[in-house]
Structure 1
Amino acid sequence: MIGETLSILNSWIKDFGMLSEGWRAGILIFMLVFATATAAFIASRVIVALENKFSATRNLWDDALLHAARTPVVAFIWLQGVYWAAEVAHHFSDAEIFKANGTLLQIGFVWVLVWALLRLVKEAEKILVSPMKMRKPMDYTTVNAISKLLRAVVIITAVLTALQTLGFSISGVLAFGGVGGIAVGFAAKDLLANFFGGFIIHLDRPFKVGDWVRSPDRNIEGTVEHIGWRLTTIRTFDQRPLYVPNAAFTTIAVENPSRMFNRRISETIGIRYADINSMKQIVDDIRDMLKNHEEIDLDRTLIVNFLAYGPSSLDIMVYTFTKTTQWVRFHEIKEDVLLKISEIIESHGAEIAFPTRTLHLPEGVKVSGDNHEQSALEPASKDGRGQDSGTQAEKQNDSSR
């Protein structure tokens, strides 16, 4: 069909008798390229108009399909137009490069189709995790893992199809992959370990993007930013990026504080031994205060008891949980609770104890400033200058000798 059309146009232009073969080829190629650009522009405008029309509907998938197909459709039109232009050039020229037009068109078609499918997967991922578009948005980590898997399947299928188009045997490629996979597996065992570690993370979901995680086994703590197939990116609290190989998560314990239900207040507060008569009332008032506090979760354990006789204080244990799990808000609530406990202790005339030590001296010992004098405990008397009389006599005998 293309050959017949070219013959008609060529003969029509040749009838003028004014143009050489080169000029006729140039005019035909220009006309095809201009027609391609016009068709691509019209197709783009039509798809944009359809997007605006379907955006008013409640169906989100038609919007995703049109948005994903707009650019690949324009690329396909250009691909087809360039192919026709190359066929025109091949009609007027016997260059070897033009003999690959059909193969390049098939590979280009595979590329455009893969591009459209990848864009569609990306648009579907945005819809499924968006709280604005879905009543119950799916977990981002799960959707991201499925999206990566679909993209990998599409790309691998496209590569195999392109190899088949270029004349390579797929069965030979698969056989080579089976034999060479063993050697590659030994050479890249760490890479494969990280890959399967990422697969386990997506399967078990011990954490997801945005969670605060930490490991008691390693110096790992921060917010998860990205879960890849080889690395997991964690942003530490001092805003440094931490890249952890996924294989590490299969051998260490990981704590996910983001999934806690409450935060705990666990404090030991001591009062003076002199305030032991007020202990019972202080404990009861602290317990009542916590039960009436609007930020304390009464469905969790609440303990306020006289705990122990400490070295310098009577210890009271305060153990309760807040409703919030937010770090900043938790400390605001804890500050309020501690200040109210201090007010309760002061209202009973008691005081919060601090470490003290009492020194008992035996009778006869007198402490005056920095001078320590012993009167009853010293066996020898002293003269007026503070020296032992016996010692003074010995010195005199020594001098007489």
Structure 2
Amino acid sequence: MRFFLAVFLTLWLVLPGVAQGVDPDWKALSERTESVLESGDASAGALTALRGELADWRARFQEAQTANAARIETLTAQIEAIGPPPEEGETEPPGIGIQRSELNRRLEELRAPVREAQASFTAADGLISEVDRLLEANRAAQLLSKAPAPVNPVNWPPTVAAIASWLKAFGQELYAPFATPTARAVWQARGGELGLLVLVAILLLWRSGVWLGKLRDRVALHEADSAVARVILLTISVVRLILPVAGLFAVVRILQLMGAEGLRVDAATTLLPLMGFTILMARWLSLQALPMRETAQAFLPVSPARRPAARFYALMLGILLAGAMAVEVITQTANDPVVSNAVAHLVLLVIAGINLFRMGKLFLSEGEAARADDDDGGGGFWAQVLRLIGRGLILVGVLSPLVAAVGYVNLANAALWPAALSLALIMFIGILQGFAFDLYAAAMRRPDTGRDALLPTLVGFVLALLSLPLFALIWGVLPSTLREWWTKFQLGFDFGESRISPGSFLTLALVFLVGYLMVRLLKGVLRTSVLPKTKLDTGGTNAILSGTGYIGITIAILMAVTAAGIDLSGLAIVAGALSVGVGFGLQTIVQNFVSGIILLIERPIKLGDWVVVQASGVEGFVREISVRSTRIETFDRQDMIVPNADLISGVVTNYTLNNASGRVVLTLGVAYGSDTERVERILQEVAEEHPMVILNPPPLVTFDGFGTNGLDFTVRVVLRDILFKVVVASELNHAIAKRFKAEGLEHPLPRRDVLLRNPEALQPEGPPST
């Protein structure tokens, strides 16, 4: 009965997926896609729409691959618990074999829809790749298409006539609401709304700039160089950019309410806000990146004398780009759109090329001047960027008009305008980065740290990364291609039996971060609340804290890897190969690592100990013990990094291992003829009177013998704290000298006996004088 119940439940779970089979809609879509790919005559819009459908199905198949994952995992664990089938010649209980067969059968039934989804996912992914290749091929063919030579004078009159005809028709469509009484009655009935919109348009297009300009001048007059003022000024400039664009939308709404209609009016109402925004944005970028005030911080390091010319070139490029948008619409109504489009674009490309060439020359000269002024000859990072941008603008400004002149207008447009837009995007990113710096400085109220702080620097780095897709779109990468790249990035890559994806990395980072913070919290609790209440010394406390940190971080890493679903079993072969390298190339590092663990466990030295490393002669106090090395602070206040292997395998003198006491030995002498017992008694009294000298064991004074210059004595005393060894030795010497002087004892003086072999040679010749 249990067997039939299990079979029924399994079929109830599996049969819907099996019965579904291949979806007929997916089958029809795949067949239609294959036929389109074989013909290759679909338009770019049709291919893009087809690709969108394929991407939706691929997402469904990807989600279906995780169906019954929990149940599959449970059955796999049950099969592994039963164990492998018996080898040839072996037997097992009949019930185990039947159970294994039933579990395998149910597992295969559950895996069937997953495998089908995997196959369909692979097919959809392949079709998407083919569609992308076809789209790229069509775009390349469009870029390399050649139009009739626009420099041919024969093509100029039709182009001028087409533009004039379009403008004439546009004027007629604009005049249509005023042409008849009926048309006038339509918009006169909406007089109140129209009047309000006209007032709003005038205020937004004309007066908003005047009022905001006065506000900007007032802020700049009081504190123009502060971070808060720069944030306010940038905010005012953004509002000053947005309000005129809103005024253009009001103008479009006025035309719609007045009843102006027609193909050209519709195109104009669509283009007007876009063209206005393009021109205003070019002006705004030039003013922010190349400010008019000489003391203002400029994103592009151009000298104040050349900023007006650079701003003019940037504004002209914005106007010409808006004109290129209008040309695309106007020339479509010409008798020969291809010829008219080529001629009109050639005029714009020539003027834009001149502006790009001049701006490139300006940037190049500014970069060369900065390099000449720099002592290192480099001129800094931005000087190099200016030189690079200048050379690129000169190259594009010269080649694009020449390419367009021979008929490759699409290729010229695809090179010149992206170059101008890339420059605009670079300016925009720089302005945002400067805003982040100023906002941080204003929030922290420390204007001197805004440019050097880490947080705004990271914000600028993130902005630069986020701009990469925009640069790709500017230079012609299709949005579908970008989405495909993002999809591949989200899918990740296979690592052994695991799949590494951005989600896995994010999970890994978050779990490890939480684990690391928990370890820090645990160490803080142990350091401040638990360990101070124990009888452990400093070395034991440090060993427990270090061990807790290493074990906790290891556990955090393992938990993060497990939570991310990364299977490390595939690293077994790699780890085996690396063990050979560890045995040879990393032998010293491993030795120091093991020695560090021994130091933390055995604790022959601890923090604060006074040690002497005999191998290297390093003497000082132990300040830090890590798993690879130990930091010793010498008496000269220098930090010496000693490998842990030297502390384990070599001889180390630890003055403060078990206790702080230690012995001081003083050697001295007295002159010959002194009472030795009296000297010994005086030295004993001086040693016992010092407060740092321990009386049990008592000081020991010995008469060592007869020296070359005097009688030799040695004083041996045990101190309460060996750290005062040098101080106590000096104080004892002072006390002994003072007592010797009071008792009349003399220190020995160097004495030499001179033996003469012929003393008669010293006698003078002749009789002695009377």
TM-score category by the smaller chain?
A: 0.5 to 0.7
**Corresponding residue for residue 205 of structure 1:** 603
Matched, 1:356 2:751: yes
2:744 matches 1:342: no
Offset from partner CA, 1:290-330 (integer Å, 9 cap, x none): 23432211123521132211122112221112222224xx3
Q: CA deviation at 1:270?
A: 1.4
Which among 87, 96, 108 is matched to residue 487 of structure 2? 96
Q: Does 1:302 align with 2:699?
A: yes
Q: Is the 8 A contact 1:263 1:322 kept in 2?
A: yes
List per-residue Cα deviations over 1:96-144 (Å, max 9, x = no partner).
Answer: 2696599655653443232122112122223323489732365213421
Amino acid at match of 1:341: I
Q: Distance in 2 between matches of 1:312 and 1:180?
A: 68
Match of 2:719 among 319, 322, 328: 322
Question: How much does 1:193 deviate?
Answer: 1.9
Task: State the alpha-carbon separation in 2 of the partners of residues 216 and 109 from structure 1.
Answer: 49
Query: Does residue 152 of structure 1 match 2:554?
Result: yes
SS of equivalent residue, structure 2 residue 732: helix
Aligned-partner residue type, residue 516 of structure 2:
L
| Code of the aligned partner of 2:610 | W
Q: What SS does structure 1 have at the residue aligned with 2:513?
A: helix
Query: Which residue of 1 is the match for residue 766 of structure 2?
Result: 382
Picking from 578, 583, 594, the partner of 1:185 is 583
1:52-102 deviations in Å (ceiling 9; x for gaps): xxxxxxxxxxxxxxxxxxxxxxxxxxxxxxxxxxxxxxxxx9972696599
Once residues 702 and 738 of structure 2 are traced to their aligned partners in structure 1, the CA distance between those partners, rounded to angstroms, is 18
Query: CA 1:351 to 1:230, structure 2 compared with 1: closer, same or farther past 3 Å?
Result: same
Overall identity of the aligned pairs, in %? 22
- Aligned counterpart for 2:652 among listed residues 240, 245, 254: 254
The structure richer in strand per residue is 1
SS at match of 2:520: helix
CA distance in structure 1 between the aligned counterparts of 2:505 and 2:755, rounded to whole angstroms: 98
More helix as a share of residues: 2
- Superposed CA offset, 1:263-312 (max 9, x none): 3221222111122xx32123123213323432211123521132211122
* In the alignment, structure 1 residue 219 sits paired with structure 2 residue 617: yes
How far apart in 1 are the matches of 2:731 and 2:583? Answer: 59
The answer to whether the 8 A contact 2:582-2:590 is kept is: no
Q: Does 1:171 align with 2:569?
A: yes
> How far apart are the structure 1 equivalents of 2:569 and 2:553?
22
Q: Which amino acid aligns with 2:763?
A: Q
Separation in 2 of the partners of 1:358 and 1:187?
Answer: 66
SS in 2 for 1:255: strand
The separation in 1 between residues aligned to 2:564 and 2:613, in whole angstroms, is 45
**8 Å contact kept, 1:160–1:170:** no
Alignment partners' CA distance in 2, 1:207 and 1:322: 21
1:141 aligns to 2:532 (yes or no): no
Hey, what's the Cα distance between the residues in 1 that align with 2:698 and 2:626?
40
User: Cα distance 1:131–1:337, how it changes in 2: closer, same or farther (>3 A)?
Assistant: farther
Paired position in structure 2 for 1:268: 667
Query: Kindly tell me: are residues 255 and 318 of structure 1, through their superposed partners in 2, closer, same or farther at Cα, counting changes over 3 Å?
Result: same
CA distance in 2, matches of 1:290, 1:131: 44
Deviation at 1:236, TM superposition (A): 3.1
Rg (Cα) greater in structure? 2
Deviates more, 1:137-146 or 1:103-112: 103-112
The 1:289/1:232 distance shift into structure 2, 3 A limit, reads: closer
- What is the distance in 2 between the residues matched to 1:265 and 1:184? 47
Letter in 2 for 1:208: K
For residue 337 of structure 1, what is the amino acid of its counterpart?
L
* Residue 204 of structure 1, CA deviation: 1.9
Give the letter for the 1:351 counterpart: E
- What displacement does 1:360 show? 7.2
* CA distance, structure 2, for counterparts of residue 135 and residue 339 of structure 1: 43
RMSD: 3.6
- What corresponds to 1:113 in structure 2? 511
Deviation larger for 204-213 or 265-274: 204-213
Decide which moves more: 337-346 or 313-322.
337-346
Check the 8 A contact 1:222/1:237 in 2, yes or no.
yes
Equivalents in 1 of 2:693, 2:730: separation in Å?
Answer: 13
Equivalent residue letter for 1:267: L
Q: Distance in 2 between matches of 1:174 and 1:139?
A: 36
Structure 1 residues 131 and 282, CA gap change in structure 2 (3 angstroms): farther
Distance 1:172 1:331, change over 3 A: closer
Cα distance in 2, alignment partners of residues 347 and 318 from structure 1? 19
Inter-CA distance 344–374: structure 2 relative to 1 (3 Å threshold): same
AA partner of residue 720 (structure 2): K
Evaluate the alpha carbon distance shift between residue 179 and residue 205 of structure 1 in structure 2; reply closer, same or farther with a 3 A threshold.
Answer: same
User: Does the Cα contact within 8 Å between 1:308 and 1:314 map onto a contact in 2?
Assistant: yes
SS at match of 1:208: coil
Total equivalences in the alignment: 274
Deviation at 1:383, TM superposition (A): 7.4
Which whole-Å CA distance do the structure 2 matches of 1:346 and 1:143 have between them? Answer: 56
Q: Distance in 1 between matches of 2:613 and 2:627?
A: 20
Which residue does 1:126 correspond to in 2?
A: 524
The aligned residue for residue 70 of structure 1 is: none
Structure 2 unpaired stretches of 5+? 1-482, 493-499
The one-letter amino acid of 2:519's match is V
- In the other structure, the counterpart of 1:285 is 682
For the structure 1 residues 293 and 225, does the alpha-carbon distance in structure 2 shift closer, same or farther, using more than 3 Å as the test?
A: closer
Residue 233 of structure 1: aligned partner:
631
One-letter code aligned to 2:715: V
Aligned partners of 1:219 and 1:289: how far apart in 2? 34
Structure 1 position 349, deviation (Å): 2.4
1:26-41, aligned counterparts within 5 Å? none
Shift of 1:333: 2.6
Distance 1:131-1:350 versus aligned 2 partners, 3 A rule = farther
Q: CA deviation at 1:157?
A: 4.1
**What displacement does 1:184 show?**
4.2
Q: Helix, strand or coil for the counterpart of 2:682?
A: helix
Rounded to whole Å, the distance in 2 between the matches of 1:160 and 1:250 is: 36
CA 1:228–1:317 in structure 2 vs 1: closer, same or farther (change >3 Å)?
A: closer
- 4+ runs of 1 displaced by more than 6 Å? none
1:144–1:108 distance in 2 versus 1, CA, 3 Å: same
Name structure 1 gaps, 5 residues minimum: 1-92, 367-371, 376-380, 386-401
On the 8 A contact 1:282/1:348 being kept in 2, the answer is no
